[in-house]
Structures are given as C-alpha cells and as structure tokens.
Amino acid sequence: MTDTRHVSAIDDSIETEARSFGRQVWDRFRRHKLAVLAAVVLVVLTVSFWVAPALSPYEFDEITPDFRQPPTAAHPFGTDDIGRDLLVRTFMGGRFSIRIALLVALSTTLIGTLLGAVAGYFGGWIDALVSQIINMVLLVPALAILLVLALKWGSSPWSISIVLAALLWTRIARVVRGLFLQYKEQEFVMAARSAGARSGRIMFRHILPNVMGPVVVETTLLVGTAIILESTLSFLGLGVQFPTPTLGNLVAEAKGAIDSNPYRVLLPGSFVMLITLSINFLGDGLRDALDPSSGGGRT
C-alpha cells in the first residue's frame, strides 16, 4: 500500500509539472512567428486538399473534351493530356501525399520509439542488437533501398508508406535510445524504481513524457522528409501509380511538357515546396518551444 501511494504521488507530481510545462511551451511557440505562420499555412492547405475536390464540378479522374488547356475560368490549373482537370487532381494529389506522409511519420515514430526505448532502458544484448540493426539500415544507401523496395512492393499509398517507414524509423530510434540512456539514471527514475514501479511503468509513465519533446520535433520533420521521398519515388515512376494522383506523380506526368506548359510542373511542385518549407519552420518552432536552450522565442 505504501509503495502504491509513493508511485501515485510521483505520478501526480509529473502531471502537475507537465501542465505547467505545456503552458510554457505554448507561450514560447506563439513568439516564433514563422512557426505560427507555417502552422496556419499547413492547416489551410490540409483543409483545402480535403474540401476543394468536393466543391469542384469535376472528378479527379474525369475526362473532359478540353485537352492540354492552359489555366482558364473553367479549369484554373488547366487540363492534362487527356482532359482531366488539374486543379482537382492537384488537390487530390496533395491529399494523398499528406496522408502518406502522416502515416509514415506516425508508424515510424511508433516503431522507432518502442525500439529506442527498449534498447536504451534495458541496455546489454538488447541494446547491442537494436544498435546493430540500426547500423545495418544506415550503412546501405537510402535511395538504393527505396528503389529496390518500391520496385517490389510500391504502387499503392499503403505500400509506399510501409516502404518509407521501414527506412526512416532509425532516425527516431537513435534519438529515443540516447535519451533513455540519459534519463534512466536520473533521481526521479531511481525513486520510482525504489517505490516498486515496474519497468514498463517507469519507461512509459516516467521517462517517455520527458523525451516526447525531441520525438515530436523529429516526427514533424519526418512528415516533410516523407513527402520529398514519396515525390522522388513517384517522379522516378516507382511510387503511387496512376490514376491515383500524388504531387510527385503529377510532376512526373508533366515533365515532358515543361517547355510548352511549365505550369503543369510548377503548380504541384510549388505545393511540395510550400508544404516542406512550412513543416521545417514548424519543426524549428517546436524545437525552440520545447527546448528553450536552443534559442526559443526567435522571430
């Protein structure tokens, strides 16, 4: 009973500190104007990707008589070689690209956090095994792995997400492993262990909340990385296949018309650039807000 009260008291203290820390993080994040602007841009783009196709009079795979049209009132982004409206295809492509990137970031975070936490907390042969797996993945050129895996399993948003997640999880695993190695020797962990807390409770109730700041930043940046890699695979013809549009395969489809109709490449390409820049600025703001020593409060 006494041990249970000690553990509960430690948990209550952590929750109180977490609430206070959350308010401080929000205050620092608001002062980072570029990060706030980036967050607004991402929200606007994401909502547009989901709402605009529903409001369009055209389906993303609907063929019209207007072949290879420049931007007009009827087709603000023009049409492609077989008459499909490029506005609705671009926004649908953004929807699929965001969906793939979020799925990759979340699955990568889950895998990397679990493996990094286990390796860092238990150490010994478990740490050595996980570290060797990480090193093996990092030794092989990333693009070569992506090309081979995508060639065999790529073609749908789900399979592309699995391919990217299988490659990118090492980034978060290394961060989490290092932080667990640091925190497992701290006094609050020793107190929880002395109070009778089990390893699982210590890992995920006491240590994990303290490493979530860097994990959130890494997850945010992974969204941008996933969008770039998905676009690269699609541009090379190994990503999501037609007729499903993504920003990457829209650029790939239009690359032959870059001289005569450059807008067909520039429009989806500009969305890739805008999303990636916004995510990077958002990641900078989150890093500064979660770690004041890194220079929080910049504008």
In tens digits, what is the pLDDT along the chain, a chain of 299 residues?
445 555 555 455 555 455 566 777 788 888 888 999 999 999 999 999 999 888 888 888 888 888 888 888 888 888 888 888 888 999 998 888 888 888 999 999 999 999 999 998 888 899 999 999 988 888 777 667 777 776 777 667 777 788 888 888 998 999 999 999 888 888 888 887 888 778 888 888 888 888 888 898 889 888 888 888 888 877 777 767 667 788 888 888 887 777 778 888 888 889 999 999 999 899 888 888 877 555 544 44
Write the DSSP assignment of 276-290 as a string of letters: HHHHHHHHHHHHHHH
Give me the pLDDT at residue 8, please.
Answer: 56
Supply the pTM of this predicted model.
Answer: 0.79
Give me the pLDDT at residue 297, please.
Answer: 44
List the domains of the chain with CATH numbers.
2-63+79-294 (1.10.3720.10)
Give me the pLDDT at residue 117, please.
Answer: 92
Residue 272's nearest CA partner among 242, 236, 234, 240 is: 234
Residue 182's nearest CA partner among 135, 138, 117 is: 117
For the chain, counts of helices (H) and of strands (E): 11, 0
144: number of Cβ within 10 Å: 9
Give me the pLDDT at residue 298, please.
Answer: 44
Give me the pLDDT at residue 299, please.
Answer: 40
What's phi and psi for 44, nearest 5 deg?
A: -60, -45
Helices (H), 140-262: 142-153, 157-183, 187-194, 199-201, 208-235, 247-254
Give me the pLDDT at residue 128, please.
Answer: 92
CA distance 70 to 271: 19
Give me the pLDDT at residue 296, please.
Answer: 45
Give me the pLDDT at residue 39, please.
Answer: 92
